[in-house]
């Protein structure tokens, strides 16, 4: 029982496209959160700093006048007419800052003026006041009260080492935090928009990146042992995916070449086995036929001497039949011996000259044909079995002569092309019927009439050429037929003896 191929998971749970989009979404989300948080924190820091700066500027601008007012009252320049209360009212009435309260305290923390008159004369001993009086330095703190957060600020009323108390104000943070909350919503909104736009953009990019991979995967799934032509890839890209596409196409070309070589080797093996089988059969048949033929020929010779002249025609018919049987037997013997080559280096000009001479003699004895021979191949050396290759050329030329009308023309041309020594034999005779194109090299198949052809010659030619690792081709149309024999310029034949 044949082993089943292991199953392959189709449609993976997480495809490359999905992984890319998820990764991109996480990156975009992290970027949105990080950037939005940073913007919001920077804006918060800036607003707090700006608010503190405005409050500190207000304190600094009133510090001098308040100290002067306290000095004037101390030295009696002016009477206590509520100058400090005026300063406090001016602070609370500031339109630019949301002041909650303001008050002035002396060095002991006693309230000299307050925006809430009920606090007049009270003792302010909170940490900010005490620290500011003790250190003589500006101080601040943020207080989270029930009525809302506020910025508590203290400015000591001090000149050099002399101090007269402290100026305190509280600025509400509710407007600022309302602005920050509104800004947070805007940041979230824009982050969400940016997230969806960014994820959408990465989705499109991922789609474009994955599509050629999907096309390549689809093309790969179509490739199998019987079909090595993948679906066409629209365009080879200039990136890593393009390199993968090129590698896949190159792999297909190598597979096709390997498959062609495998088929060629398989066909050659089948042909060799067929030739070996036929060779054994033919050798036995030829041996068995030759013995009776010899006896029959002797009998005909003896009978011919004793018969009167009126039987000469019958004797001639017998001799013709015997001659044809001998020819077929000889061809069968030649076919059985094709599988062995005696390879020798041969000069192309000498090969062409000898083949032309043999052809001219054969045609001259049998046909009224014009023979044109042309050698355009530069002088070179080929490794061939010269007698067998001469047999191929001569057989093709004789076939061309048989197909040509009386007074016709045969052309024999040799040339070198793409590493092959090529011999072309062309005639202008009857041509080959398209229905016979696939059969003319088959053993015992012939297009000639009964008693004219054995169907062995072209099969022998094809076997000899293929043993030289060459190729025999033909084309026939409009009464013009050309056979081309291609022999490699480098290398020898198969199963040959150098």
Classify 344 as helix, strand or coil.
strand
**Tokens 């309302």, residue located:** 178
> Would you give per-residue pLDDT tens digits along the chain (498 residues)?
444 444 444 555 567 778 888 888 888 889 889 998 999 999 999 999 999 999 999 999 999 998 888 888 777 666 655 788 888 998 998 888 999 999 999 999 899 999 998 888 899 889 999 999 888 899 999 999 888 899 999 999 988 888 899 999 999 999 999 999 999 999 999 988 988 888 888 888 888 777 777 777 777 777 766 666 655 665 666 777 777 778 877 887 888 888 888 887 887 777 667 666 766 776 677 667 777 777 777 887 778 777 777 777 777 777 777 776 776 676 666 666 655 678 899 999 999 999 998 888 888 766 678 889 999 999 999 999 888 899 899 989 988 888 888 888 899 999 998 889 999 999 988 888 777 777 777 766 666 654 555 667 788 888 888 888 889 998 988 778 999 999 998 755 554 433
Cα–Cα distances in angstroms (integers) from residue 123 to residues 61, 105, 115, 139, 330, in the given order: 25, 8, 15, 19, 143
Q: Report the domain count for the chain.
A: 3
- The reply to whether 89 and 158 lie within a common domain is yes
Q: What string of DSSP letters covers 283-311?
A: HHHHHHHHHHHHHHHHHHHHHHHHS-GGG
* Whether 53 and 171 share a structural domain: yes
146 with 75, same domain? yes
Pairing relationship of beta strands 111-114 and 496-497 according to DSSP bridges: unpaired
Q: Left, alpha or beta for 403 (phi > 0: left; psi -120 to 50: alpha)?
A: alpha
**Same domain, yes or no: 302 and 246:** yes
C-alpha–C-alpha distance, residues 335 and 289, integer Å: 16
Task: Give dist(CA 455, CA 447) in Å, integer.
Answer: 8
Last residue of a domain, one of 282, 304, 337: 337
Domain CATH for 259? 1.10.287
Q: Are 128 and 141 in contact (CB under 8 A)?
A: yes
Domain membership flag for residue 250: yes
Q: Residue 208: inside a domain, yes or no?
A: no
Kindly report the CATH number assigned to the domain that includes residue 126: 3.30.450.20
Range of the domain at 143: 17-180
Main-chain phi, psi angles of 444, to 5 degrees: 70, 10
Is the Cβ–Cβ distance between 245 and 233 less than 8 Å?
Answer: yes
Enter the pTM of the model. Answer: 0.47
- In 3D, which of 466, 444, 442, 425 has the Cα closest to residue 338? 466
* Rounded-to-integer distance, Cα 114 and Cα 87, Å: 10
The number of beta carbons lying within 10 Å of the beta carbon of residue 319 is 14
Do the domain assignments include residue 191? no
In a domain, 203, yes or no: no
């Amino acid at each position: 029982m044949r082993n089943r191929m292991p199953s392959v998971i189709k449609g993976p749970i997480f495809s490359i496209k999905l992984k890319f989009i998820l990764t991109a979404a996480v990156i975009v989300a992290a970027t949105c959160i990080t950037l939005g948080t940073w913007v919001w924190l920077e804006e918060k820091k800036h607003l707090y700093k700006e608010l503190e700066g405005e409050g500190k500027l207000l304190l600094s601008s009133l510090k001098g006048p308040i100290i002067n007012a306290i000095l004037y009252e101390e030295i009696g320049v002016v009477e206590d007419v509520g100058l400090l209360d005026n300063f406090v009212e001016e602070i609370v009435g500031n339109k630019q800052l949301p002041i909650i309260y303001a008050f002035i305290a002396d060095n002991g923390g006693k309230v000299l003026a307050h925006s809430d008159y009920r606090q007049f004369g009270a003792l302010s001993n909170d940490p900010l006041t005490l620290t500011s009086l003790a250190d003589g330095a500006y101080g601040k703190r943020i207080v989270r009260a029930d009525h809302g957060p506020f910025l508590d600020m203290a400015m000591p009323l001090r000149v050099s080492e002399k101090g007269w108390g402290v100026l305190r104000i509280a600025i509400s943070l509710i407007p600022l935090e309302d602005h920050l909350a509104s800004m947070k919503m805007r940041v979230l909104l824009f982050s969400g928009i940016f997230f969806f736009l960014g994820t959408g953009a990465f989705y499109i990019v991922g789609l474009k990146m994955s599509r050629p991979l999907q096309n390549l995967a689809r093309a790969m799934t179509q490739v199998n042992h019987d079909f090595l032509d993948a679906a066409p890839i629209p365009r080879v890209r200039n990136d890593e995916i393009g390199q993968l596409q090129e590698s896949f196409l190159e792999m297909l070309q190598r597979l096709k070449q390997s498959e062609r070589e495998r088929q060629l080797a398989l066909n050659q093996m089948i042909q060799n086995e067929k030739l070996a089988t036929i060779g054994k059969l033919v050798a036995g048949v030829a041996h068995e036929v030759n013995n009776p033929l010899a006896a029959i020929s002797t009998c005909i010779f003896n009978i011919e001497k004793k018969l009167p002249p009126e039987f000469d025609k019958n004797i001639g018919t017998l001799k013709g039949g015997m001659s044809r049987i001998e020819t077929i037997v000889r061809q069968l013997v030649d076919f059985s011996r094709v599988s062995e080559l005696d390879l020798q280096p041969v000069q192309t000009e000498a090969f062409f000259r000898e083949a032309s001479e043999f052809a001219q003699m054969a045609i001259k004895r049998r046909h009224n044909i014009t023979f044109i021979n042309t050698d355009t191949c530069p002088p070179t050396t080929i490794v061939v079995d010269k007698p067998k290759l001469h047999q191929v050329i001569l057989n093709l030329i004789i076939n061309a002569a048989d197909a040509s009308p009386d007074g016709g023309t045969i052309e024999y041309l040799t040339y070198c092309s793409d590493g092959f020594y090529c011999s072309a034999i062309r005639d202008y005779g009857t041509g080959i019927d398209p229905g016979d194109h696939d059969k003319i090299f088959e053993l015992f198949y012939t297009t000639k009439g009964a008693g004219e052809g054995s169907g062995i010659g072209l099969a022998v030619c094809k076997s000899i050429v293929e043993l030289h690792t060459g190729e025999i081709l033909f084309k026939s149309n409009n009464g013009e037929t050309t056979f081309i024999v291609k022999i490699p310029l480098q290398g020898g034949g198969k199963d040959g003896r150098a």
